[in-house]
């Protein structure tokens, strides 16, 4: 039987994405990833080198998919916040993967994909502030951090808070969009 390297890599990435989203880097097991992908550990190491490098590949793919699904527009941060809110409401595994990345990789080498997109976004926010489209009472990094925190606030709340949260997703989304509108209005 002829091996299809791209198909194997894809299966490994899919299995690793599910495993890392569920249990993080420390909890992930290479044996489980290989078994779910239908290959052996040797193939995983041959393609990715280590569990950490596999996580980097997973997270880089996650960033690329995120950028495609959630377009950024510094001139309309409330709409971006709504799209970001929707993305994490519809994809809780994506939220977990991002949280694991922040928890388990704080001192590691930065991923180029993440650094590049943050640099681009911060430049766009600075231009929008200079043009008077966005409030300039926060520096670009602080403003973007606040927008992202507001956007993911409902999806990252403690489960006990759900009792008090608006049950309907549209009301939660509306609160996010309104909060970001007020935060960014010049």
pLDDT tens digits for 36-94?
Answer: 999 989 988 999 999 999 998 998 898 888 888 999 999 999 999 999 999 999 998 89
Here the CATH number for the domain that contains residue 15 is 1.10.10.60
Residues 99 and 39 placed together within one structural domain of the fold:
no
Q: What is the pTM of this model?
A: 0.84
Residue 50 near residue 16, CB atoms below 8 Å: no
Range of the domain at 85: 70-186
Residues 41 and 99 placed together within one structural domain of the fold:
no
Residues 102 and 24 placed together within one structural domain of the fold:
no
* Overall residue count recorded for the chain in this entry: 186
Give the separation between CA 15 and CA 105, rounded to whole angstroms.
Answer: 20
Residues 15 and 80 placed together within one structural domain of the fold:
no
Query: Which two three-digit tokens encode residue 166?
Result: 């608006």
Residues 105 and 169 placed together within one structural domain of the fold:
yes
Give the separation between CA 161 and CA 140, rounded to whole angstroms.
Answer: 30
Number of domains in the chain: 2
What value does the CA radius of gyration of the chain take, rounded to a whole number of Å? 19
Here the CATH number for the domain that contains residue 179 is 1.10.357.10
């Amino acid at each position: 039987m002829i091996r299809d390297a791209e198909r194997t890599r894809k299966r490994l990435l899919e299995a690793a994405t599910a495993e890392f989203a569920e249990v993080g880097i420390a909890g992930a097991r290479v044996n489980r990833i290989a078994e779910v992908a239908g290959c052996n550990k040797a193939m995983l190491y041959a393609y990715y080198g280590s569990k950490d490098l596999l996580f980097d590949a997973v997270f880089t793919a996650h960033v690329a998919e995120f950028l495609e699904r959630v377009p950024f527009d510094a001139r309309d941060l409330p709409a971006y916040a709504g799209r970001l809110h929707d993305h994490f409401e519809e994809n809780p595994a994506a939220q977990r993967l991002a949280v694991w990345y922040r928890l388990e990789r704080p001192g590691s080498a930065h991923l180029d994909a993440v650094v590049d997109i943050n640099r681009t976004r911060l430049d766009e926010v600075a231009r929008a502030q200079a043009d008077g489209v966005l409030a300039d009472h926060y520096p670009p990094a602080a403003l973007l951090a606040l927008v992202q925190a507001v956007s993911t606030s409902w999806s990252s709340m403690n489960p006990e808070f759900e009792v008090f949260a608006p049950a309907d997703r549209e009301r939660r989304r509306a609160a996010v969009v309104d909060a970001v509108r007020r935060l960014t209005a010049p």
